[in-house]
Chains A and B, each alone.
Chain A
Amino acid sequence: MRIKITGGRLIDPFNELDKVQDLYIEDGKILARGQAPEDFVADEEINAKNQIVCPGLVDLRARLREPGFTHKGTVASETRAAVRGGITSLCCPPDTNPVIDTPAVVELIHQLAEKSGMAKVYPLGALTQGLEGHQLSEMNELQIAGCVGVSNDTAAVSTDVMRRAMEYATSLGLTVYLHAKDHGLSNGGYVHEGVVSVRLGLPGIPETAETIAVARDLQLIELTDIDAHFCQLSTASAVKMIARSQYDGAPVTADVTAHHLFLTELDIGYFNTQCHVQPPLRTERDRDALREALVNGTISAICSDHQPHDIDAKLAPFTSSEPGISALETLLPLTLRLVEEDVLSLSDALARITVLPANILGIDAGTIHVGAIADICIFDPESYWELNHDTITSFGKNTPFLGWDLKGRVTNTISNGRIVFQMEPGVIKNKALQVYEEVTP
């Protein structure tokens, strides 16, 4: 398949590229930029005038719910939602049922993803068998099967087991993905311990539930000399500790969810279960510190932390509702909102959802130089759209951003040189009201 993308503004943060250029794709690879190669005849031409052409997005954490929770989503439904959000590569955590602690589960997910042919899926293997925190998983087997790293997700691991697991993982060259959560301190908590927990009488999770775990894990990282990645930081203090250890030369990276950059505990209002997330939404001060860390590089990636749910999961009293947001399709527009709010430049913002997360995962993605795999996201940066049940493709409609007017709409997604999602412009009245209709590629 040969594709020509004409007239788009190419932005490739890794190669510091930002100019209007045509792009040529052949056999799943980027063939050329600018001048057409000789004899190039496109099978498909995409008019990207007034649109931005960037690397396909890379999401560090998205649950696909399969195997085990197919009433909330499937590999097929969620990878389809991913490409609609411009995401061409995503990493799924091991908290499926059964847990990703055997090669069989990895193979199953790979097969389902391949069959669906949408976003590429990179699973994380379980750090301990069944995520139970006792016995190490067969990490080498998982690595051979295709796991890009290991994690115990949000399940507890005692300090001694964590040390051994880190030592073993580093022997295999595997990155350990850490969720900083002290299980004693966060036990029974649902929201940030602060002004909202006291007002609503909801059991709180103190800031120290995160900082104590970060402190422990940073000490263990130093002891075991591993590459580690901290997932979904939520507090200013934890960010400060990680910045300090990076300054001292520790090989640690960190990410933050898009929703922690926009929401605070106050958004819970009167028990809005759509704001029930783990780690909890914190204070405005924390949110500002997370943004600042994103600017100065302490946090290098923004992830969706996608968790699709069935409707009943959120129709319950707060403490019985399930945590998480259906977030694949808001990753790009929320990241673009940071540009709108002058937090990051457009290129720096896109880097945090393309090349930087790709580097953390150690996968070949996130750039569009000649010869690279042709994973491309094309979006109209000026188009506004409302997030509602009809515009969400994911099985999960659970999001606190429902009703928000979002700016920036994905019009085309290309994965391995194949168009996997496409919208065509409808009748143009004025730019802000540009209407797009989905077409079957």
Chain B
Amino acid sequence: MIQKNIQLDSQGRLRHLLTIEGLKRQMLMDIFDTAESLISVAGQSVKKVPILRGKTIVNLFFEDSTRTLTTFELAAKRLSADVLKINVRTSSNSKGENLLDMLRNLEAMHCDMFVVRHAESGAAHLIASHVAPHISVVNAGDGRHAHPTQALLDMFTIRRHKGEFAPLTVAIVGDIMHSRVARSQIHALTTLGVSELRVVAPKTLIPPKVDSLGVHVYHDMEEGIEDADVVIVLRLQKERMLGAMLPSEHEYFNCYGLTSEKLKAAKPDAIVMHPGPINRNVEIDSEVADGPQSVILEQVTNGIAVRMAVMSMVLGRPTMGNPTTGVDD
């Protein structure tokens, strides 16, 4: 059965951003170009553009987050949108209110966009397939499934440093199994067409059939990052020690922690990335995290521009919502 890609509107434009899977290369490039044009806003004395004036964006977070929530909020504010934050753990959800009932209520308040973070895979798809036609949904992380804006900001960061994607070798190191960031990065990197994409981790943290996504699997760290142009290190959750996935943080650091010694296997001009927040001396040595090859803080800065780009493209589609006329289709 062929399912319609609910992310796109009838004219093929981005209506929701739920996953990178199924998006065209050109669409990703358009997002990067838009982000590039918006990056200067942060340097202005008045850090605002009126692109989304009069629009209401609701940050609907069913799971704790500091960085993602903050950057989404900043991005929306810099676009002049009104922003509402609902931390659902403390709201009516704990009173047993049905997820979709709550959405109906929010819809009745005439919101334009939901930015959704949820602990379960597929939550953003569920919400997107039930919202009213004039509302857009941006996935800010759902379970282990996807975190598309994180992947986009990572790609944007890579593009700013490396220019072209085609010649690159990229290695993603760490807990691929439980990582929505890794899944979105994999879809983005294969869509953008890097020459080689590798995942590096012990077998317990590599999901079976991951090769079906177009990646090469390595269990040895130095082999895995050899001659890489980009090394992406993933955060290791402490719970992994409990599920018999790993013996200890110490042993993980010895085998898969990125140290300046191990980094020598990569290309001399390789960049080191991490979606944050980092566990120093668990998955990455401080010397590397704070070193010259690290672009970790730059990723955070770029996150605001990329999220601005996504929000403005999704809400600013000409026929549906011209911010100056306010006319919907």
Contact B121 A318 (CB under 8 A): yes
Identify the stretch in A52-60, A76-84, A265-273 within 8 Å (CB) of chain B at 4 or more residues. Answer: A265-273
A186 to B142, CA, bound (A): 22
| Interface contact B208-A198, CB-CB below 8 Å | yes
Instruction: Using A270-B125, A271-B125 as known contacts, say yes or no to A194 and B208 having CB atoms under 8 A apart.
Output: yes
Q: Is the beta-carbon distance between B208 and A206 smaller than 8 angstroms? A: yes
| Residue B327, interface by CB 8 Å | no
Q: Which of B3, B99, B145 contacts A202 (CB 8 A)?
A: B145
Q: Are B146 and A201 in contact (CB under 8 A)?
A: yes
Please pick, from A195, A197, A267, A271, the residue contacting B122 in the complex, using a CB distance under 8 A. Answer: A271
Within 8 A of A (CB), among B202-225: 207-210, 212-213
For A317, the chain B residues whose CB sits under 8 A away are 99, 118, 120-123, 126, 142-143
Q: Mark A64-81, 1 if CB is under 8 A from B, else 0.
A: 000000000000000000
Across the interface, do B212 and A198 meet the contact criterion of CB distance under 8 Å? yes
Q: Is A17 an interface residue (CB 8 A)?
A: no
B180 within 8 A of A: yes
Q: Determine the chain B residues whose CB is within 8 A of the CB of A315 once the complex forms.
A: 98-100, 126, 130
Interface residues on B, range: 20 to 34
Q: B207, A200: Cβ atoms under 8 Å?
A: no
- Bound-complex Cα distance A318 to B99 (A): 13
How distant is the Cα of A47 from the Cα of B209 in the complex, in angstroms? 56
Partner of A201, one of B1, B98, B144, B209: B144
Interface hits, B92-142 → A, CB 8 Å: 98-100, 118, 120-123, 125-126, 130, 142
Contact with B along A199-231 (1 / 0, CB 8 A): 111111010000000000000000000000000
Contact A201 B208 (CB under 8 A): no
Check A316–B145 contact: CB distance below 8 A: no
B3 touches A269 (CB 8 A): yes
CA distance A204 to B143 in the complex (A): 14
Say yes or no: is B21 at the interface (Cβ < 8 Å to chain A): yes
Contacts of A312 in B (CB 8 A): 98
A204 partner residues in chain B, CB cutoff 8 A: 207-208
- The answer to whether the Cβ of B183 comes within 8 Å of any Cβ in the partner chain is yes
A174-200 interface bits toward B, Cβ cutoff 8 Å, 1 = contact, 0 = none: 000000000000000000011101111
Interface membership of A320, Cβ < 8 A? yes
Footprint of A on B, CB under 8 Å?
A: 1, 3, 6, 21, 98-100, 118, 120-123, 125-126, 130, 142-146, 180, 183, 207-210, 212-213
24 residue pairs of the A-B complex, CB under 8 angstroms, read A193-B208, A197-B207, A199-B183, A199-B213, A200-B122, A201-B183, A202-B122, A202-B144, A204-B207, A271-B121, A271-B125, A271-B126, A315-B98, A317-B99, A317-B120, A317-B121, A317-B122, A317-B123, A317-B142, A317-B143, A318-B121, A319-B120, A319-B121, A319-B122
5 tightest Cβ-Cβ pairs between the two chains A and B = A201-B144, A271-B122, A201-B145, A317-B120, A317-B123
Given A201-B146, A201-B180: 8 more A-B contacts, CB < 8 Å: A194-B208, A198-B207, A199-B212, A269-B3, A271-B121, A317-B142, A319-B120, A319-B122
